[in-house]
Amino acid sequence: MRVRVTQQVVLQSRPSTTTVEGVVESFGQQKTGSWFAHSEDKKLWLDRLRLRTDDGEIVCCNLDHLSRVEVVG
């Protein structure tokens, strides 16, 4: 499935958006180390979407409540 992911990022107190488009290789929740997560095993679960762009690049997106994923085509 081909999707377009738009995410909002904040750089130096200025919001900006970034967009990437590609074919979904995988989607799921993965643990990441986090000293501030305060969970049982000190891990934070993230929704991760792995895409392959048209030029073959692999992009891993950490999705949050501001992420927008649209099916393309």
Q: What digits encode the pLDDT tens for the residues 38-56?
A: 666 666 788 999 999 999 9
What is the per-residue burial (b if ≥16 Cβ within 10 Å, else e) of 56-67?
eeeeebebeeee
What is the span of the domain harbouring residue 33? 2-71
Report whether 16 contacts 8 (CB < 8 A). yes
What pLDDT shows up at residue 32? 76
What pLDDT shows up at residue 69? 97
What pLDDT shows up at residue 71? 98
What pLDDT shows up at residue 3? 98
Structural domain count of the chain? 1
Strand 58-63 and strand 43-52: pairing? antiparallel
**Calpha distance 59→55 (Å, rounded):** 11
Q: How is residue 42 written in tokens?
A: 């000190």
What pLDDT shows up at residue 35? 59
Q: Which regions in the chain score pLDDT beneath 50?
A: none
Residue 35 three-state SS: coil
